[in-house]
Structure 1
Amino acid sequence: MEHEAFWLDAQDHSRLYVHAWRPMGNARAVILLSHGMAEHGGRYDRLGKALTPAGFALYAADQRGHGHSASYGTLGHYADQDGWNKVVGDLATLKASIAVRHPGVPVFLLGHSMGSYIAQGYLLHHSASLQGAILSGSNYHPVTFYRSAALVARIERWRQGPTGRSALIEHLSFGAFNKRFKPARTCYDWLNRDPAEVDAYSNDPLCGFRCTNQLWMDLLGGLQQISKRSNLAQIDPGLPILIIGGECDPVSDGKRLTHLADALSGTDHPFVTLKVYPQARHEILIETNREEVTRDLLAWMEQALKQPRPRRSE
């Protein structure tokens, strides 16, 4: 297994820090990973090391405002303007780089939590170029839910400015997540049943930060786009989609994973698979049952590789 990190120039000349795990021989397929809020691509080292023996490469860029990429911006801030389109465009930039490094090799898109929303934004325009998509720790709400949330974010942006960091938004978004896990050992118990993983997140200076009001405005605008049934219908109906998450994940609550699967299936996507893991929490890829999840992920990708897909470089 080879591991490297490199800088990649984005379309607007911002720089993205990319983590890459590659098998020693030629890759059979590549996974393009879009990570969650207030974390970074380096946290997927265990997954990269688990995938490479099976011939899969993993590429994970630190999102704008996250990880090492934040050194070319502001931690917790996508951009001053057009942030949603820029983070979605960053996936296209990394996908193009992967096509050069692994010509003709099929690519899967894996998005976790916030990254699953960005991944869906990418799917609205580029799904035909993929072999499959995996959405982890995601959910689905109607557009009206996100419009109401965006109103709060708009008020906080007016009150504090675009780069302000609202305690109110933080409370409304994450404040109740730990309630079902009382007595909680840390404020991040909702992430994982594994205390070592929770501590690693808590002690990581590039994790757990509060995001800016502008990032929330960008994200909520994007969520309104991907929640419209008419937009979901733009995703290639032949694309295999796997939706995974934990039964006790407060982000998806198990039920909202079902809502997402139903929304996709209801827009004529017949190849949607849903897998909810009992008792698991949010970070399903590094949860206590991570080996089971990895086996299921590999088995699903093996099946998806058998499905004919168009070969496009975009």
Structure 2
Amino acid sequence: MSYKTHVFTARDGEHICYYHWKANEQKPLKGMVQIAHGIGEYAGRYDAIAQLMADEGYEVYANDHRAHGKTAEIKRLFGHYDGADYFGDCMEDMHELAEKMRADHPKVPFVLFGHSMGSLLSRKFVTEYAEELDGLILSGTASFIKGLGNFGILATGIVTKIRGRERKNDTLKDLFFGEFNKKFSPNRTKFDWLSTVEEEVDKFEADPYRVEDFSLGVFQDVIKNSKKLNEEPAFQATPTSLPILVFSGKKDPVGEMGKGVKQVVKKYKNCGVEDLTVHLYEEGRHEMLKEKNKEEVQQDILNWLKAHI
């Protein structure tokens, strides 16, 4: 580990844990990168790429979202969320961290890097705070998966009315994560869809900070925002001058085996985004930073940063 963790108090009193990778002091400070992790994981899993960026002269920060990681550990409530707007709360937490970053390092370029759910949070961030960004990196992002998504909106709506948003539901949890894994049956584990590298999959399965069981409100808000953020107004809110890097595996079920990622890219192009770089890696699954060709992926990210920041 090459980071230090800290805690800040959010606007509503919640304690949010964040990580900081200090930039290489032997190089000029090039910029700042904020990482937004995906559902079920935590920011510490990005240590390798964060350290590489720090070595190149970038200050890197990332927080554990509510119900995740060390933020959830503070109250010993992993997966639990009792608020009214999970996505809104998480995005505002990210913005508060961004403000701390700018206070520490004013007048340096700022790049937002989001993976999976974090990519959707980052896309939502753009709709509210685009003027604060100098670059956007989207990993394992997705279009709205209509069949699964529409069923999810209906099912979570019904169940939350009966049981409330705070309760968990094994059936819905297994449905969503199970659907992704079906693409790789017969399955060795529940997480085959994450990577072709068995060691990485096993490491994630054994990770004590991994979360599967979430309050229904988390699932409901993720699905609703997936739909909203893939509609035209969200793309039109993106400045055409904002440089964007999109990368994903062609075998990522979250990105509908490349189809959904291409839809997202097409919508950005249709809205006039001028600087759009896309990498779809041939055999990669959902976590390209944990794949066999992770060094290639890391270098592509560093090259993009060097060219744009």
TM-score range, shorter chain: over 0.9
Separation in 1, partners of 2:187, 2:86: 34
Equivalent residue for 2:250, pick from 243, 247, 256: 247
CA RMSD of aligned residues (A): 1.9
Residue segments in structure 2 that go unaligned for 5+ positions in a row: none
Whether 1:12 aligns to 2:8 is no
CA drift of 1:246 comes to 0.4
Equivalent residue for 1:116, pick from 112, 116, 119: 119
Show the 5 A alignment for 1:231-270. Answer: 231-252=234-255, 253-270=257-274
Residue 162 of structure 1 aligns to a residue whose secondary structure is coil
Equivalent residue for 1:184, pick from 182, 187, 191: 187
- Please say which of residues 217-226 and 252-261 is displaced more in the overlay: 217-226
Partner of 2:154: 151
Show the 5 A alignment for 1:131-210. Answer: 131-141=134-144, 146-210=149-213
Show the 5 A alignment for 1:16-35. Answer: 16-25=16-25, 27-35=29-37
Quick check: 1:36–1:113 contact (8 Å CA) kept in 2?
A: yes
Compute the TM-score of the two structures, normalised by the length of structure 1: 0.91
Residue segments in structure 1 that go unaligned for 5+ positions in a row: 306-314
The AA in structure 2 aligned to 1:55 is G
Quick check: 1:78–1:87 contact (8 Å CA) kept in 2?
A: no
Partner of 2:3: 3
Quick check: 2:152–2:220 contact (8 Å CA) kept in 1?
A: no
CA drift of 1:77 comes to 3.3
Separation in 2, partners of 1:138, 1:79: 26
Whether 1:57 aligns to 2:59 is yes
The AA in structure 2 aligned to 1:304 is H
Partner of 1:311: none
Separation in 1, partners of 2:145, 2:232: 9
Compute the TM-score of the two structures, normalised by the length of structure 2: 0.92
Quick check: 1:201–1:208 contact (8 Å CA) kept in 2?
A: no
- Please say which of residues 85-94 and 51-60 is displaced more in the overlay: 51-60
In structure 2, the CA distance between the partners of 1:224 and 1:155, relative to structure 1 (3 Å rule), is same
Runs of 4+ in 1 over 6 A off after TM superposition: 142-145
Residue 177 of structure 1 aligns to a residue whose secondary structure is helix
Deviations, residues 118-158 of structure 1 (Å, cap 9, x unaligned): 11110101112111001111111278974542111111212
Partner of 2:288: 284
In structure 2, the CA distance between the partners of 1:58 and 1:79, relative to structure 1 (3 Å rule), is farther
Separation in 2, partners of 1:28, 1:285: 22
Separation in 2, partners of 1:144, 1:199: 30
Whether 1:82 aligns to 2:85 is yes
Equivalent residue for 2:232, pick from 224, 229, 232: 229
Separation in 2, partners of 1:217, 1:142: 14
The AA in structure 1 aligned to 2:73 is S
